[in-house]
Amino acid sequence: MLKVSYSDSGEGQRWCLCGRLAGPWVDELRSFWREIRERSPRARAVIDLKDVIFIDEAGERLLAEMEIAGAELVAAGVENNHVIATLKDRGGYSLRRGWENLCGCRGEQAGKNGEERGK
């Protein structure tokens, strides 16, 4: 299960994740990310991973895509900080395709401020 709390303020967008960034929750977060970022693609985005307890490979790829799109990843704990450090070390060309995938979201319906998604 993954709970995503989203808020938008003058300081930018804040995404607080809680639970497991894995399996079907990765696609759910990706869809939500695309909806919101389409409205404000240049807004500052902070992804708070402090309450994430597990990240699978698909979740790591999504976080890498978000970071390439300009998001700031914030974490607590050794494992999540290691994931972020590894993503920063990878960087580069191989992740550009993911960025292009995130940018190709022109037809999606935008969500509302203060939305919260969780399953």
Taking the whole predicted model, whether its pTM rises above 0.85 is answered as no
Q: What is the model's pLDDT at position 10? A: 87
- β-sheet bridge partners, residue 2: 19
Q: What is the model's pLDDT at position 15? A: 96
Asked if residue 111 is part of any domain, the answer here is no
Q: How many domains does the chain have?
A: 1
Asked if residue 95 is part of any domain, the answer here is yes
Q: Are strands 45-55 and 12-21 parallel, antiparallel or unpaired?
A: parallel
Mean pLDDT per block of 10 residues along the chain (119 residues) reads: 93 95 96 93 94 93 91 90 82 45 44 41
What is the spatial distance between Cα 105 and Cα 119, in angstroms, rounded to a whole number?
23
Q: What is the model's pLDDT at position 48? A: 96
* Distance, C-alpha 115 to centroid of its chain: 15
Q: What is the model's pLDDT at position 109? A: 34
Which structural domain range is residue 57 located in?
Answer: 2-106
Specify the CATH number for the domain of residue 59: 3.30.750.24
DSSP assignments along 11-68, one per residue: TEEEEEEEEEE-THHHHHHHHHHHHHHHH-TTS-EEEEEEEEEEE-HHHHHHHHHHHH
